[in-house]
Amino acid sequence: MSITVKTLELKVINYFKKYNISDKSIILIAYSGGPDSGALLWLLNSIQKEIGFSIHALYINHGIRSEQEMSDEILKIKRISEEINIKIDYENIENGLIKSESKQSGRSVEDLAREYRYSLLEKIKQKINATHIATGHTLDDQIETLIMRFFQGSGINGLGGIPEKRDYFIRPLMGIEKKELNEYIKINNISFVTDKTNFDPVYLRNKVRLNLIPVISEIFPGYKKSIGIFSEKMDMIRTILSENEKDLEVNMTKDGDSWFFRDDFIELPAYLQVEILYKSWDMWENKPFQRLPYRFLSSAVGYHSDNTSSILLDGYSCRLIKHKEMIIWKRVVVVSSKKSYLRVITVGEYKLFPGMYLNVEENTQLLEDTIWIKREKLKYPIIVRSKMPGDRIILAEGIKPLKKLFNDWGVVPEERWKIPVLEDRTGVIAVLGKPLGYSNRIALNYKNCLNNDTKLLISAYYMESISE
């Protein structure tokens, strides 16, 4: 056996030992067909008997490339599956869906593809009861990410890089360079496919890899080691700062707003003030969903106490206010027009628009025409609102854009704003079409709670003739 093969297998075995991934583990491998995920699949298959875990592989067609190109690629992957005698499952995202959503939302194709990919990985993980999801991130991917984050103005947390392990996501190749994997692939004659989008300069990561890194490499030949050391230093600084950060406790009001003591905040250095603002934002149950930009938050840094109530930040549908001895996040809900609505909901009854009502209650008994959600699964806040461009729901049959769902139901475009859409921080939970004569659909991850669980029972009803 080659020294390279022995070395790489030992590195991966040590990774599994480091994180106590046991013989009872079921690992879902995110397999793209490319060299990195191909090497990951081969390595995990080679060591699984020694560790004792079992593996499953999932290939996702993002619907970004031409149908002919994808058809050819899938045929190649099926041959690879036969070569290594490992079953590879397939999931497809509707062709052109991500590019269309990118145009509508203004978000990058890269970000949306990643979001769709991770949603499908979560779905299959649940389906097969996997304990971990393994991705083929390498040391080179880490370096590219750190370079991008540096030029995008990331803070210390971002400059710590991609974690080797986050919850059940594992990255066994993170300490291995691509050139090592390429040698491993050559020695073992591992087949792989080439994704042409990896060379398309329209994508940011490709621009960094193809244009920026060669220049950096020429000027700073040892840049990989240097950037790795820089990331380690950022992690150490983050650890020290997080220990000091614990001195300021973030609390919750009974209404789900987050707050902290004003005087404690004033005494913190500027960086920790920003970190507390982000921490309290993340804990806030009633917040809007977007991440706040640094420049918005930084205007509250250096705040000095006085005895009057005041608004420290105002924007992005929220306010940071000083009230007595506290600083509190408050949500500002603005309904943009008569043909749209948005409400933060808890237990109770809500009027969405004339004639349409929503009822939320806690119960263990199931009621007809009611959706029920296990409370422990929810990532608060819960929002009920009108449909928005790019909305989608993860169902048993896959990711379904609400536009397509409403087309299937035959809902005319002028009436679609009426159908209540429920979401939490993870995305769309359910679509309540029942009160308007359609169906209720609930996201896969929120289905099948046991009868003795405490549930939120959510129902909507429409009474057009009601006097308003």
- CATH number of the CATH domain containing 52: 3.40.50.620
Q: What is the mean pLDDT of residues 332-355?
A: 72
> 3-state DSSP helix/strand/coil percent for the chain, to nearest 5?
45, 20, 35
* 403 within a domain of the structure (yes/no): yes
Give yes or no: residues 305 and 418 share one domain: no
Buried b (16+ CB within 10 A) or exposed e, 151-168: eeebebebbbbbebeeeb
pLDDT at 335 over 50: no
**pLDDT given at position 245:** 59
Give yes or no: residues 387 and 327 share one domain: no
Give yes or no: residues 381 and 327 share one domain: no
**Mean pLDDT score of the chain:** 82
* 347 within a domain of the structure (yes/no): yes
Give yes or no: residues 55 and 186 share one domain: yes
Least confident of 95-99, 161-165, 199-203, 384-388: 199-203
* 232 within a domain of the structure (yes/no): no
- pLDDT digits 0-9 by tens, 231-241: 888 888 877 77
**pLDDT given at position 468:** 41
Domain endpoint, select from 304, 331, 358: 331
pLDDT tier at 180 (50, 70, 90 boundaries)?
very high
Give yes or no: residues 45 and 181 share one domain: yes
pLDDT tier at 172 (50, 70, 90 boundaries)?
very high
pLDDT tier at 139 (50, 70, 90 boundaries)?
very high
Give yes or no: residues 60 and 190 share one domain: yes
**pLDDT given at position 336:** 45
Domain endpoint, select from 280, 309, 331: 331
Give yes or no: residues 268 and 413 share one domain: no
Give yes or no: residues 51 and 181 share one domain: yes
pLDDT at 72 over 60: yes
pLDDT at 382 over 50: yes
Give yes or no: residues 256 and 109 share one domain: no
Give yes or no: residues 46 and 71 share one domain: yes
**pLDDT given at position 246:** 59
Cβ contacts of 15-23, under 8 Å, gap ≥ 24: 15/164, 15/170, 15/172, 15/175, 16/47, 16/51, 16/53, 16/172, 19/164, 19/165, 19/170, 21/51, 21/53, 21/131, 21/132, 21/170, 22/51, 22/52, 22/53, 23/51, 23/52, 23/53
* 64 within a domain of the structure (yes/no): yes
**pLDDT given at position 467:** 41
* 110 within a domain of the structure (yes/no): yes
Full residue range of the structural domain in which residue 271 is found? 251-331
Q: What percent of the chain has pLDDT over 70?
A: 88
* 48 within a domain of the structure (yes/no): yes
* Structural domains in the chain (count): 3
Give yes or no: residues 17 and 117 share one domain: yes
* 282 within a domain of the structure (yes/no): yes
Domain endpoint, select from 298, 331, 364: 331
pLDDT tier at 181 (50, 70, 90 boundaries)?
very high
pLDDT at 429 over 50: yes
**pLDDT given at position 98:** 83
* 392 within a domain of the structure (yes/no): yes
Give yes or no: residues 86 and 16 share one domain: yes
Q: What is the mean pLDDT of residues 275-293?
A: 77
